[in-house]
Amino acid sequence: MRRIAVVLLVLSTLALSAVPAMALTPVRVIVGRGDQYWASSNGTYLAWTSHVNNTSNAYVRRLPGGTPRRVSAAGTRGEQPSFVGTTSSLVYDQWTRTRQGDIYFYNVSTGRRTKAPAAVNKAKTFEWAPKASANYLLFMRHRWSPSGRLLGQWLLFYDRHTLATRILETGVTRYFRPEFAGNTYVAWVACGAIGCRTHYWSEAGGERVQPAAPYTDQMSATIDEATSQIYYGQTRTAGCGRHTTIRRATLGSSSSIVLVPLPRGIAVGGPSLAPNLTTGQQDLFFDRYSCRSQTSDIYALRGVDTV
């Protein structure tokens, strides 16, 4: 699954009415061999994926620098852990050597794993890349042939109260993936003829697309529901890591603020907001992807809500 995420990064700055903000300095959080990516925090713990020697596992550690603890069960592989808001529960995908993958919840306080409902985890399919809140679960489903050919993929939205499931995106050749699930909004990135754009949905407003400048890609968004602000990476469509910036905008607005420009050859993925319990501010965790080495490390922007 990690290789699919890299394809999206390589595909993907100009802004619509971009406003430079006070410069923020990215801080290294998780570095190491291979890929370290897809971080999520509830303010007390940090969870992430480590991909080394073609093997992925999900980990969690107490902030600021606790000992890493493996989330995925022994004898399995796991990826893309994501906290359910500021609770002690996170959601992640877990699989064995076969193409059968399922979504699990993991409680960092008790160490207990719970499988997602049968409406989410179907037989003979691969469910992965989950994002969850108390209300919603957003995830991908893949179906493969015995020879390993992709037969179908779906981006699915599961209402945890009504137990209803709906399809948001489908198609074998298109690229799309979940990015955020909150109590009011869900968001995802989908790529088409005009590039990659952030789509978001709310029960009150339905589905919308966040405005973007021509010839740019929006990458890996997350939403602050309290302020209706969206945080995302943006880059020119031609080549990897061309004029990449991390931005903030009001949902639906064509005006954005540049929080930080990244060096040439660097792409961004997986932004995730978390409360900083020491400062009382919001921190933004993100993947800093090197187009040259094709590896990721995890960085943070501190106090992104104060700029």
Q: Considering its fold, how many domains does the chain have in total?
A: 1
Selected residue with higher pLDDT from 75 and 5: 75
Burial 249-265 (b: 16+ CB within 10 A, else e): bebeeeebbbbbebeee
Instruction: Please report which confidence band the pLDDT of residue 7 belongs to, taking 50, 70 and 90 as the band edges.
Output: very low
Nearest C-alpha neighbor of 271 from the set 222, 216, 198: 222
Domain that holds residue 102: 2-306
Provide the pLDDT for residue 20.
Answer: 56
Mean pLDDT for 70-84 is 94
Cis status, amide bond into 64, omega within 30 of 0: yes
In this predicted structure, the answer to whether residue 287 has a pLDDT above a threshold of 70 is yes
User: CA 35: distance to chain centroid?
Assistant: 15
In this predicted structure, the answer to whether residue 303 has a pLDDT above a threshold of 50 is yes
Report the share of the chain in percent with pLDDT over 90.
Answer: 75
pLDDT in tens, 260-282: 999 999 999 989 999 999 999 99
Provide the pLDDT for residue 13.
Answer: 35
Partners of 296 in the beta sheet? 289
Nearest C-alpha neighbor of 50 from the set 37, 39, 65: 37
Provide the pLDDT for residue 240.
Answer: 86
pLDDT in tens, 203-222: 999 999 999 988 899 989 99
Give this prediction's pTM.
Answer: 0.90
Helix H or strand E encompassing 6: helix 2-11
Provide the pLDDT for residue 18.
Answer: 58
Provide the pLDDT for residue 139.
Answer: 97
In this predicted structure, the answer to whether residue 182 has a pLDDT above a threshold of 90 is yes
pLDDT in tens, 100-127: 789 999 999 999 999 999 999 998 899 9
In this predicted structure, the answer to whether residue 184 has a pLDDT above a threshold of 70 is yes
Selected residue with higher pLDDT from 171 and 23: 171
Report the share of the chain in percent with pLDDT over 70.
Answer: 92
- CATH at 73: 2.120.10.10
In this predicted structure, the answer to whether residue 144 has a pLDDT above a threshold of 90 is no
